[in-house]
């Protein structure tokens, strides 16, 4: 923490890259000189054989996870300064998709329900803010919770009939719901302006401070994504998350353990849809113009891919999946022709060899005492 | 006093009379055996009891109250837990997590509690981890809490399912062929476990094909054949009942 502050203060004097290098060396220095068994850690580590070292890393999962959050946080802060405006905007978009993937993870990853029309909730959130803002001039920060509520309500509404179904049948019903929402948005001219969409959506301001800059959106989308991940992390490890996983693993056995299956599924749907609604509101304000063509079936599939490739049920997995699926195609613009080919091959490979996703969900360990 | 009373229970699957007119009474604090040839309707009866199948006719009362038509999870909350003939563990979850799911209904933390994690919530979590481990130990799974359920040896998977059912804190435990596929040593251990469960004040209704186990363990045995009860008596008399021998071994043997 001290390092970070010192690093940030020194930035204006020596420039970004040098400050970063300085910080890195400082961190290594502190790590290496901290004593362990009365010897500086660097020495005691060097004295270990390769196998013992590997065992050590395996034995202490906290070894690499304890400072991972700081690394992620540091990266999060540095990105808008290190990358140019275009790159930062791509990453901002990726954060919006992180929120979406985290939301869908409640439904698909934790609760095991294959839902295909997920983007409909995103659309509902986006249109909620767009209409509230253009008609009544509502501020984004006021509309955000309202978008969550309308998204969540839509989730409950579609769930009431659809959750009596399972597997393929549920997938088809949710797919139908997604299409219905898109077609309604396309044709309800008096409310949604049809295929033209809604224009002139205001950018947000907070206590008079304009947030509509790329940096403002970067922080807003990133903050929302981080909050979504934090909440899901807590929930997934709780009694509620365990109940969802039990339903995913064996619905009948879960019911016999006293878990109200229908109610828990409804909760997963509502939560997932609410996060999509929030992501939609931010998306609408960032675009300032939304139309139904932003919410096609392909978008639903894309978010589903993020969850599946990243790792269903884990929290970091879908987040990394979302970042990857937005950023990698941008990096591959040079070889655009082969982009989809490579993407397809990756999907096939993943499903063959790493079905749990990039970062599979971790099991509860009694030793680490997290629950 | 009888804990479970079944009166005139019928379950027809469009013309197939899987269970017809069954009368059964399970006394409090007893081990009650339910035997019969394959297809005689034992598991169907269990499924009716736990609310998986709606009844065609009849009445089930548990502890003096009618429970016909209650949803499965509600029955579990009332104190009716079961295991399955073909194991139904949560395969990707660890042994401890399986038991923690069974403890779900006794925990209070809601979603807000889980998000904000007050000291109260943390102590509840620690408390239930301990209770889960105690239950695993009780069922002979001590030291294997972190193992993934599907990677446990078969005999232990069977016992893990019992541990998960016990976590619900049932008053009546329904065991559906708990000794299926077990070797004699494992069966003996299982017998000890079931005895201990009864001593702890839980009534047991047991479906089992291992006749020796049933006759040695149960206070009373009900025999079913083709969906109907053909005998209901103490084990000593069941073993010599000609109708039972006929159902199992054929007419000549009787």
The per-residue DSSP string of B138-181 comes to: HTT-TT-TTSBGGGS-HHHHHHHHHHHHHHT--SEEEEESTTTT
Query: Average pLDDT, stretch A119-126?
Result: 96
ipTM of the complex, rounded to two decimals: 0.91
What are the tens digits of pLDDT across the range A144-195? 999 999 999 999 999 998 888 878 899 999 999 999 999 999 999 888 888 8
Over the stretch A256-302, which tens digit does the pLDDT of each residue have?
Answer: 999 999 999 999 999 999 999 999 999 999 988 899 999 989 889 88
Q: What is the pLDDT of chain A when averaged over all its residues?
A: 82
In this prediction, residue A28 carries a pLDDT of 65
CATH architecture under which domain A84-370 falls? Orthogonal Bundle (1.10)
Distances (CA, A) of B26 to A265, A275, B71, B204, B251: 35, 50, 21, 9, 30
Domains of chain A, by residue range, sit at: 2-59, 84-370
In this complex, which of A238, A363, A366 lies closest to B148 when CB atoms are compared? A363
Residue range A294-332, pLDDT digits in tens: 998 988 988 998 898 888 888 888 999 899 888 888 887
Residue count (chain A): 371
Q: List beta partners, residue B220.
A: B32
Q: B225 - beta bridge partners?
A: B228
User: What pLDDT score does A256 carry?
Assistant: 95
CA distance A363 to chain B (A): 7
Cα–Cα distance for residue pair A242/A129, rounded to 1 Å: 34
- Scanning B23-52 for CB atoms below 8 A from A yields 50, 52
Per-residue pLDDT at B151: 92
pLDDT of A347 strictly over 80: no
Supply A295's token pair: 């919410």
CA distance A304 to A101: 7
Secondary structure of residue A15 in the 3-state scheme: coil
Give the C-alpha separation, A322 to A324, whole Å. 5
- pLDDT on residue A203: 81
Q: Is the confidence at residue A37, as pLDDT, over 70?
A: no
Using alpha carbons, select from A221, A236, A241, A243 the residue that is nearest to residue A322: A221
Residues with Cβ within 8 Å of B205's Cβ and at least 6 positions away in sequence, in order, are: B4, B26, B32, B34, B172, B173, B174, B175
Q: Report residues of chain B scoring pLDDT below 70.
A: 251-254
pLDDT digits (tens, 9 = 90+) for A50-62: 555 555 555 554 4
DSSP state of A37: T
Range of weakest confidence among A15-29, A76-90, A109-123, A161-175: A15-29
Q: Which residue has the higher pLDDT, A289 or A71?
A: A289
DSSP-based helix, strand, coil % in chain A, nearest 5? 75, 5, 20
| Bridge partners for B72 per DSSP | none
- Per-residue pLDDT, averaged over A88-102, amounts to 94
The nearest CA of chain B is from the CA of A117 a distance in Å of: 25
DSSP string, A130-159: HHHHHHH---HHHHHHHHHHHHHHHHHHHH
Question: Residue holding tokens 């990756």?
Answer: A346
User: What is the reported pLDDT for A371?
Assistant: 37
Who among A235, A242, A369 is closest to B111 (CB)? A235
- Predicted local distance difference test score (pLDDT) of residue A48: 55
Q: Per-residue pLDDT averaged across A329-352, rounded?
A: 76
| Nearest Cα residue in chain B from A366 | B146
Please provide the DSSP assignment of B69-137 as one string: T--HHHHHHHTEEE--SS----TTSBHHHHHHHHTGGG----HHHHHH--HHHHHHHHHHHHHHHHHHH
Would the CB atoms of A239 and B89 count as touching at under 8 Å? no
pTM of this prediction exceeds 0.90? no
User: Helix, strand, coil proportions of chain B in percent (round to 5)?
Assistant: 40, 25, 35
Q: What is the mean pLDDT of residues A209-222?
A: 83
At A370 the pLDDT is 40
Report the pLDDT value the prediction gives residue A61, as an integer from 0 to 100: 47
Structure tokens at A95: 């954060």
- The closest of B42, B45, B55, B44 to B247, measured between CA atoms, is B42
Among A33-42, A104-113, A235-244, B235-244, where is mean pLDDT lowest? A33-42
Of A308, A276, A245, whose CA–CA distance to A127 is shortest? A276
């Amino acid at each position: 923490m001290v390092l970070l502050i010192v690093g940030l203060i020194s930035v204006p004097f020596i420039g970004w890259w040098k400050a970063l290098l300085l910080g890195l060396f400082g961190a290594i220095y502190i790590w290496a000189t901290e004593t362990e068994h009365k010897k500086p850690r660097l020495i005691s580590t060097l004295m270990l054989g390769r196998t013992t070292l590997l065992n050590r890393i395996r034995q202490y999962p906290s070894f690499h996870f304890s400072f991972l959050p700081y690394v992620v946080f540091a990266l999060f802060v540095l990105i808008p300064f290190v990358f140019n405006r275009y790159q930062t905007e791509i990453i901002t978009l990726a954060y919006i998709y992180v929120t979406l993937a985290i939301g869908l993870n409640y439904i698909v990853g934790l609760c095991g329900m294959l839902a295909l029309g997920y983007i409909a909730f995103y659309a509902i959130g986006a249109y909620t803010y767009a209409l509230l803002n253009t008609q009544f001039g509502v501020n984004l920060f006021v509309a955000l919770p309202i978008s969550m509520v309308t998204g969540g309500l839509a989730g409950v509404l579609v769930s009431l009939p659809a959750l009596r179904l399972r597997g393929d049948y549920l997938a088809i019903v949710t797919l139908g719901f997604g299409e219905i929402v898109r077609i309604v948005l396309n044709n309800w001219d008096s409310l949604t302006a049809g295929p033209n969409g809604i224009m002139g959506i205001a950018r947000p301001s907070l206590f008079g401070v304009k947030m509509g800059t790329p940096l403002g959106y970067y922080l807003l989308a990133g903050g929302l994504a981080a909050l979504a991940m934090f909440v899901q992390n807590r929930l997934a490890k709780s009694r509620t998350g365990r109940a969802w996983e039990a339903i995913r693993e064996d619905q009948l056995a879960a019911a016999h353990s006293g878990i109200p299956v229908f109610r828990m599924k409804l909760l997963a749907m509502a939560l997932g849809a609410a996060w999509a609604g929030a992501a939609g509101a931010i998306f609408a304000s960032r675009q300032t113009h939304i139309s139904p063509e932003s919410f096609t079936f392909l978008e639903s599939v894309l978010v589903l891919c993020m969850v599946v490739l990243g790792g269903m049920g884990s929290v970091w997995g879908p987040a990394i999946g979302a970042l990857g699926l937005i950023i990698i195609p941008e990096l591959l613009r040079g070889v655009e022709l082969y982009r989809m080919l490579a993407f397809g091959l990756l999907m096939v490979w993943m499903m063959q060899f790493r079905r749990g996703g990039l970062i599979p969900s971790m099991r509860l360990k009694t030793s680490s005492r997290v629950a | 006093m009888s804990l479970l009373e079944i009166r005139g229970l019928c379950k027809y699957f469009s013309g197939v009379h899987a269970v017809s007119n069954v009368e059964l009474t399970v006394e409090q604090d007893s081990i009650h055996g339910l035997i019969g040839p394959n297809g005689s309707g034992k598991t169907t009866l269990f499924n009716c009891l736990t609310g998986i199948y709606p009844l065609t006719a009849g009445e089930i009362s548990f502890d003096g109250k009618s429970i016909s038509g209650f949803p499965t999870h509600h029955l579990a909350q009332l104190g009716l837990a079961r295991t399955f003939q073909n194991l139904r563990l949560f395969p990707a979850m660890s042994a401890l997590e399986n038991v923690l799911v069974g403890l779900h209904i006794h925990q209070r933390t809601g979603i807000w509690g889980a998000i904000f994690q007050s000291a109260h919530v943390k102590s509840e979590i620690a408390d239930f981890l301990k209770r889960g481990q105690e239950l695993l130990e009780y069922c002979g799974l001590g030291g294997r809490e972190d193992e993934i359920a599907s990677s446990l040896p078969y005999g232990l998977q069977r016992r893990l399912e019992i541990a998960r059912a016990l976590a619900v804190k049932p008053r009546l435990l329904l065991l559906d062929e708990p000794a299926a596929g077990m070797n004699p040593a494992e069966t003996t251990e299982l017998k000890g476990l079931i005895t201990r469960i009864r001593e702890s004040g839980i009534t047991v209704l047991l479906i089992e094909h291992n006749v020796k186990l049933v006759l040695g363990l149960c206070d009373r045995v009900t025999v079913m054949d083709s969906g109907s009860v053909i005998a209901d008596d103490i084990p000593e008399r069941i073993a010599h009942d000609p109708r039972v021998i006929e159902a199992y071994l054929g007419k000549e043997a009787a």
